[in-house]
Structure 1
Amino acid sequence: MFTAKNREELETKGVTMVPDVLSMEDCDKHQAFFRNWLKRFPDGQWPETLSSLIQGYGAGHLEPAWDVRLKTRSVFAQVWGTNKLLSSMDFIAIGRPPEDGEEKFWAEGDNWLHTGQSADRVSLHAYQGAVYLEGCDEDDWTFEVFEGSHTHFDEFMDTTDQWRCDKIAGDHLDWFKSRGCRRRRVPCPKGGMILWDSRLVHANARPKAGRANTGRWRYVVFVCMTPAVWATPGDLAVKRRAYEQRRLTAHWPSDGVKLANNCPLPDQSLDPVDLLDLPEVARTDDAKRLVGILPYDEADPDWLDETDENRCKFRPAWNKERWAKHLNK
């Protein structure tokens, strides 16, 4: 499933697409689930979103999100060379067609280009994933990147006063362009998964006016997995809290795990559709190991798959001094 070409693209471009991660039947089933879930919001309200991202309402604990985690595990196992992984409890994305009048089309200069990594993290820390329950072409709700920008991340963090790059624009985009980074939209077939380096400059991109697939929605489940051996007791405690309280986490699965903020309804009222019970798939032993509720056997010789040439051979590096320097500014 994850090929040598995928690995080469991750290393050189910072992004790749893995097809056929989910079946068409699974995609249709999960789309139907989300449509029914949306009907539970009162008076036609729409969940609070950021460029189609939904980070509240227990959305990352709904049945489709857990099913996606379990079915993408084999891809991340190939990426890292170990089956002993921890998963994020990440966001979902549902984007309405702008043709229906509820969303904006893409406009020149309208972007949310950012990196998933901050100044205190050095070099590679994670590969993030987005599983597409509906296909997308370049002019649909899709994913845009600056190819190769991940290779300039450390240099960029040493030359900018942004310690957390949650919005990159203007001169900073020109900085990446001057280093040969090409901006492009990444299409993905239904059931496919886009993987990207957390250092990559990227964003969700809105549909373009006049697109070929008029009326196409966006349904995406985000997932990120890294080796369980990276996690500290503190990381595992945060993950347990997220699991037990049906909270979402940021994308970091096992190294610097953080809870995401809960989102209220647009009118700021309490959320009546928040998940009360975890679905059955989330209560399996496999699911519990993926989020650190059940431990892996560290005595197992497969703990880091010593025979696999692509096994994880390092722990992520940190530079707290660089982080402190930015805070002092």
Structure 2
Amino acid sequence: MTITSNRPAWLEALEHDGVAVVPAAIPPAEVAAFEADAYAWLGTFGYDPLDRTTWKRARLPPAWRTGMYSSAAHEAFVWRLRCVPGILAAFASAWDTSPETLVASFDSINITRPLGKFGRNSKATKPWPHLDQDPGRAGLELYQGIAVLSDSGPNDGGLCVLPGSHRLHSEYFKAFPPPPWKPNRIFRIPARGMAWYAARGVTKRKVEAKAGDLILWDSRVVHWNEDPIGERIRLAAYVCYCPRSLIAEDVLSKRVQLFYTRTWTNHKPFLAVAGKECVPRLAEPEETDTLVRLIGSSVEDST
């Protein structure tokens, strides 16, 4: 007798490989709106993707790893993306909860120009394999996500992972005991660590996806990003959610304060590690019921 599962294929992949692509989680109209607003946001700094004479670092906001912009964390167009029902439904399925229980990170976006004649002349970013999860925690800590807003093929840069590395998390840190770790830090995997994974058959995969897809991965999965080398600018947004029940009350209160001071956070909604203030340059976010829940407040408190 054949037993079939009603679970979508991407959930099976998320469990087995630690990474999955959720197809068409973001409607095409939302993808187009994000692209237009992202370029309009860059335009407030003097950058025009259609005018190569403006393709200078002085006309771009401060970035990490050449294209990660935390200063857009509270722009209206970024919050509109965080509230997309397809993204919330996917995270809710991964956590086995309802979308109404989720709380979001106040995270960065990614606008990375390709290397070479179609983009920037700087050197390629070196691979930086890392984990965001606490090395001392054995079980799942978080599902991380990337909203894919431009096609991500073999030459378009984007997420690289070691599929299955989540199942070796505890074993790895027995072989390589970690130094003291702070919750607002990433944990880098050195060359000898990558060789350790390779010896166990765990090797790199560049995750390919279409604009409108959502990439999810287990926070125990070793990952990093690559620069685009084709003709397309990479557009993406980092989206992370967890159930409200995983967050302490004092952290929920802190999150609300961080929202109203327009402060960005790292990937972990349950920690609310604060970055810098980032006052919106285009438009302030609309405080819909969904947004209020996602910051960790309650709709009743906001009425």
State whether residues 238 and 257 of structure 1, in contact with CA within 8 Å, keep that contact through their aligned partners in structure 2.
Answer: yes
State whether residues 238 and 258 of structure 1, in contact with CA within 8 Å, keep that contact through their aligned partners in structure 2.
Answer: no
Q: In structure 1, give the amino acid aligned to 2:171.
A: E
When normalised by structure 2's length, the TM-score is 0.83
1:47 maps to: 61
Measured after TM superposition, the shift of residue 230 of structure 1 is: 1.0
State whether residues 67 and 113 of structure 2, in contact with CA within 8 Å, keep that contact through their aligned partners in structure 1.
Answer: no
Structure 1, residues 85-135: CA drift from partner, whole Å, max 9, x if none?
A: 11111111110122335254647xx20111111224331011111011111
2:55 maps to: none
SS in 2 for 1:12: helix
Question: Would you say 1:102 and 2:106 are equivalent positions?
Answer: no
Question: Aligned equivalents of 2:65 and 2:256: distance in 1?
Answer: 28
Question: Would you say 1:22 and 2:22 are equivalent positions?
Answer: no
1:128 maps to: 144
Which residue of 176, 188, 192 corresponds with 1:167?
A: 188
2:220 maps to: 199
5+ residue gaps, structure 2, are 1-5, 48-57
Question: Would you say 1:278 and 2:293 are equivalent positions?
Answer: no
SS in 2 for 1:129: strand
2:257 maps to: 241
Structure 1, residues 68-88: CA drift from partner, whole Å, max 9, x if none?
A: 211111111111222211111
2:41 maps to: 37
2:50 maps to: none
SS in 2 for 1:248: strand
Question: Aligned equivalents of 1:178 and 1:6: distance in 2?
Answer: 27
Question: Aligned equivalents of 2:256 and 2:244: distance in 1?
Answer: 14
5+ residue gaps, structure 1, are 209-213, 263-270, 298-329
Measured after TM superposition, the shift of residue 33 of structure 1 is: 0.6
State whether residues 87 and 225 of structure 1, in contact with CA within 8 Å, keep that contact through their aligned partners in structure 2.
Answer: yes
Q: CA separation of 1:165/1:250 partners in 2, compared to 1, >3 Å: closer, same or farther? A: closer
2:273 maps to: 258
Which residue of 70, 81, 106 corresponds with 2:96?
A: 81
1:304 maps to: none
Question: Aligned equivalents of 1:75 and 1:296: distance in 2?
Answer: 26
State whether residues 104 and 206 of structure 1, in contact with CA within 8 Å, keep that contact through their aligned partners in structure 2.
Answer: no
Structure 1, residues 195-223: CA drift from partner, whole Å, max 9, x if none?
A: 00011100111124xxxxx3201111111
State the identity as a percent.
Answer: 30
Q: CA separation of 1:155/1:69 partners in 2, compared to 1, >3 Å: closer, same or farther? A: same
Measured after TM superposition, the shift of residue 250 of structure 1 is: 0.9
1:315 maps to: none
Q: In structure 1, give the amino acid aligned to 2:77.
A: P
2:133 maps to: 117
SS in 2 for 1:173: helix
Measured after TM superposition, the shift of residue 40 of structure 1 is: 0.8
Structure 1, residues 121-178: CA drift from partner, whole Å, max 9, x if none?
A: 3310111110111111022121100111111112222333344653222101101111
Which residue of 202, 219, 231 corresponds with 1:215?
A: 231
Measured after TM superposition, the shift of residue 278 of structure 1 is: 2.6
State whether residues 55 and 248 of structure 1, in contact with CA within 8 Å, keep that contact through their aligned partners in structure 2.
Answer: no
Q: CA separation of 1:86/1:274 partners in 2, compared to 1, >3 Å: closer, same or farther? A: closer
1:224 maps to: 240
State whether residues 132 and 188 of structure 1, in contact with CA within 8 Å, keep that contact through their aligned partners in structure 2.
Answer: yes
Measured after TM superposition, the shift of residue 22 of structure 1 is: 1.1
1:60 maps to: 73
SS in 2 for 1:97: coil
Question: Aligned equivalents of 2:81 and 2:283: distance in 1?
Answer: 18
